[in-house]
Amino acid sequence: MRATMMLAEYAQVADGKLFISGAGWSTCAPGPAPCSVAAIFHVPWQESNKKISFSLRLIDEDGRPVTQPGAQDGLPVQVNGQFEARRPATITPGMEINVPMSFNVVLHLDPTTRYSWVLDVDGHSDDSWRLSFETRSLAQAAPGVRG
């Protein structure tokens, strides 16, 4: 199993395609910030037509789960789910099947802190399934600016 992941301001899946806006950043302002993890799961032929479980979680630079204020106070920022890559009748046997997904959230982030989104698939992780980013200091933060 392979996964391609990217940070964006917004992403959505429509008609089996991933539409991404404001992508490719690794630094953002502290405070409320839109964050999307755009992902494509590249499912090998032999793993298609089976349930695949995943977990996407946000951790801080010390590896601790990140929590957010509000109705979910104290709960870690995490998405758990399952999907099944179905083999279309028209696909050549042996081909990978791509499954696009997007996860959108507004994060309330501390200044000058490093964070990472970490993906686990069926209980396994890979170094390439990690998206790290950091927030600027309050002095560097300018409204509406990413960089």
Global confidence as pTM: 0.89
Domains and CATH numbers, the chain: 2-135 (2.60.40.2550)
With pLDDT > 70 as the criterion, what percentage of the chain qualifies? 93
How much is the pLDDT for 87? 92
Dump the DSSP string for the chain: -EEEEEEESEEEEETTEEEEES-S--EE-SEEEEEEEEEEEEE-GGGTTSEEEEEEEEEETTSPBPB-SSTTTTSB-EEEEEEE----TTSPTT--EEEEEEEEEEEEE-TT-EEEEEEEETTEEEEEEEEEEEEPPTTT--TT---
* 73: confidence class by pLDDT, cuts 50, 70, 90: low
Each residue's pLDDT tens digit, 57-72:
999 999 999 998 775 6
How much is the pLDDT for 139? 77
How much is the pLDDT for 68? 85
